[in-house]
Structure 1
Amino acid sequence: MKKSLGAITLAQPTPVWAVGAYDEDGKPNAMIAAWGGIASSDPASMVVSLRPSRHTYAGILKHKAFTISVCPANLAAESDYLGMVSGKNVDKFTEAGLTPVRSNCVDAPYIDECPLVIECELSEIVELGVHNMVIGAIIDVKCDDDKLVNGKHPDITKVAPMIFAPGSRAYHTIGEHVGQAFNIGKKFMK
């Protein structure tokens, strides 16, 4: 029997992404966000929901761009720190020992130590409530060479992205391979 938990944000898992933007003064900044995903495949777009009160949000509005650095498990503490303090008060990159890199595609920084980065131009903001959906057109995806499968796409086991469980507020890693998409379900096709 399933127990009703109410209308709360317990979808699992959610990503652990560092959303990067230059602040209003041009200083590199990044914050952790877990409410996000792919918004569209054509045009290729990402969505991340942010509170308008966040320092990063103001930078995204000013520069019309943001990056998503996919946080790997080996940067768990650094990633967590990015969500605990405001870039208004501290230089998060310096304090966490992370390296900001100026994107060559959009007006936003990304985290060099993160193996997978998605660079986006701001295309739309949808006001929802305490969070606004920030939608960005994907301009480029960058991945460390040694994390690619046949030089074509990121290897999830090598990128080792963290995931977040909203209810327990815990970080986890990706589990074992269970099968190939668009293949293992063929046994039900007639």
Structure 2
Amino acid sequence: MAKQHWKPGTMLYPLPAVMVSCGANPEEYNIITVAWTGTICSDPAMCYISVRPNRHSHDIIKKTGEFVINITTKDLAFATDWCGVKSGKDVNKFEEMHLTPGESKEISAPIIMESPLSIECKVKNIVELGSHDMFIAEVVNVQADERFIDFKTGKFLLSKARPLAYSHGFYYELGKMVGSFGYSVMKKKTKEKRSK
């Protein structure tokens, strides 16, 4: 099987397409769409977003030291893209996209009420990397939409919200589950038991 060599690039896909909300008061509330995001630590729970310094939200987040990662869905795909190509300097993204700013529990930045999951974050460090600055943050609270909670098990069923993924310039709805964490080991153990 032949492979081609390409120049170094950001080819780690798919990624979550998230809307990051920020601002300490309604006059400066803003939303930026980010795909450069992820988990970096479990205990304490920490994540990151990477933002270009020339983006309007960059200075807001740097000043307030807070932001909210709002998971996006198929129903939010248009707003997700729109909030990524428009600047908060020119438009009020909450108003234009008919999104509702909600109250965070631990920080001043608003959550997006239409998001199934909102992750409240406090910035711990800013790393200048080149085209982007990485905001390393501690998760201080998570708000989950009750419509997607299985109250019998206590599990959050994000798949029911039809989460959105970003891959090399395109948005995708996530497909069917093919396994769960540890299923490869459990499957092997089950086969070994049957063969005894």
Do the two structures share a fold, i.e. TM-score over 0.5? Answer: yes
156, 159, 182: which one pairs with 1:157? 159
What is aligned with 1:183? 183
Superposition CA RMSD, Å: 1.9
Matched pairs, number: 188
- In terms of fraction of residues, the more helix-rich structure is 2
1:109-145 residue CA offsets vs partner (Å, 9 max, x unmatched): 1211111110001111111111111111001111111
What is aligned with 2:140? 139
- In terms of fraction of residues, the more strand-rich structure is 1
TM-score normalised by L of structure 1: 0.92
CA distance in 1, matches of 2:186, 2:57: 44
Deviation >3 Å, runs of 4+:
23-26, 185-190
Aligned: 1:95 with 2:111: no
What is aligned with 2:8? 7
CA distance in 2, matches of 1:164, 1:141: 22
The range that moved more, 97-106 or 150-159, is 150-159
**CA positional deviation for 1:175:** 1.2
Query: If you compute each CA radius of gyration, which structure gives the higher value, 1 or 2?
Result: 2
CA distance in 2, matches of 1:15, 1:187: 29
**CA positional deviation for 1:173:** 1.0
TM-score normalised by L of structure 2: 0.89
SS of alignment partner, residue 83 of structure 1: helix
8 A Cα contact 1:23 1:55, kept in partner: no
SS of alignment partner, residue 77 of structure 2: helix
CA distance in 1, matches of 2:26, 2:178: 47
Between the two proteins, what is the percent identity of the paired residues? 34
8 A Cα contact 1:52 1:132, kept in partner: yes
8 A Cα contact 1:24 1:58, kept in partner: no
CA distance in 2, matches of 1:183, 1:75: 32
1:3-152 equivalent positions in 2, closer than 5 A: 3-22=4-23, 26-150=27-151, 152=154
The runs of 5 or more residues in structure 1 that have no matched partner are: none
CA shift in 2, pair 1:55/1:25, >3 Å: farther
The range that moved more, 100-109 or 152-161, is 152-161
CA shift in 2, pair 1:101/1:175, >3 Å: same
The range that moved more, 28-37 or 146-155, is 146-155
CA distance in 1, matches of 2:143, 2:20: 15
